[in-house]
Amino acid sequence: MQMTRRQALTLMAATVATPALSAPRRITLRPEAVETMVAGHRLPMLAFNGQVPGPEIRLTQGEAAHIRLENGLRDGALVHWHGLRVPNRMDGVNVLTQDVVIPGESFDYRFDVRDAGTYWYHSHYLSYEQVSRGLFGAFIVEERNPPEVDHDITVQLFDMLLGVQSRHLVDRVEDEPIWL
């Protein structure tokens, strides 16, 4: 079949006018046990991808989030997207919206990020322990047309209560604490 000049020009115009379709960026979060130095003390922590806090996730408003949780812990894991409007089945709340991801298994979170802003993500399985030991991170949704700024810096504050004698993370109120 032979193409006319008009058909070729129409095809070229349509190709130029159509935005390039790109595959969504895939992000992996792997919770795992780590040991870190804090104020000269070696502490057992939990980390996403070896980092405390976890890696900053930065997407653009309207983009699709494709985030795989690969559980490297010896315990269950979930991720809750604090403040983000996500489908209920992607909300990471144990038993209510999602089953826990058992050790060695994975789960794919998929949702559109509709609202620009600064949010955070964190473990929602045994969160009283897992978050206090480091399983959290920043989730930034940039505006489609962001304002011009000199610097855009994310700051996360995190305090830790240590026992004086054993230099461990305090789990009980009776421990004599020191603040770092």
Residue-level pLDDT at 129:
87
**E strands along 5-98, which residues?**
26-29, 31-38, 41-48, 57-60, 64-70, 79-82
pTM, two decimals, is 0.76
- Could you read off the pLDDT tens digit of each residue along the chain, which spans 180 residues? 676 766 655 655 554 444 444 566 799 999 999 998 877 778 889 999 999 999 999 999 999 999 999 999 999 999 999 999 999 999 988 888 899 999 999 999 999 999 999 999 999 888 888 898 899 999 999 999 888 888 888 888 887 766 655 455 555 444 444 444
Domains in the chain, ordered, with CATH? 22-145 (2.60.40.420)
The answer to whether residues 82 and 121 touch, using CB atoms and an 8 Å cutoff, is: yes
CA gap 80, 124 in Å, rounded: 6
The answer to whether residues 34 and 52 touch, using CB atoms and an 8 Å cutoff, is: yes
Residue-level pLDDT at 18:
43
The verdict on whether omega for the bond into residue 146 sits within 30 degrees of 0, i.e. cis, is no
Residue-level pLDDT at 178:
44
CA gap 98, 36 in Å, rounded: 31
Hey, what amino acid is at 128? Y
CA gap 38, 51 in Å, rounded: 13
The answer to whether residues 114 and 62 touch, using CB atoms and an 8 Å cutoff, is: yes
CA gap 133, 159 in Å, rounded: 10
Residue-level pLDDT at 165:
53
Residue-level pLDDT at 4:
72
Reading the block at residue 104, the tokens are 């060695």
CA gap 111, 91 in Å, rounded: 10
Identify the three-state secondary structure at position 87.
coil
The answer to whether residues 57 and 48 touch, using CB atoms and an 8 Å cutoff, is: no
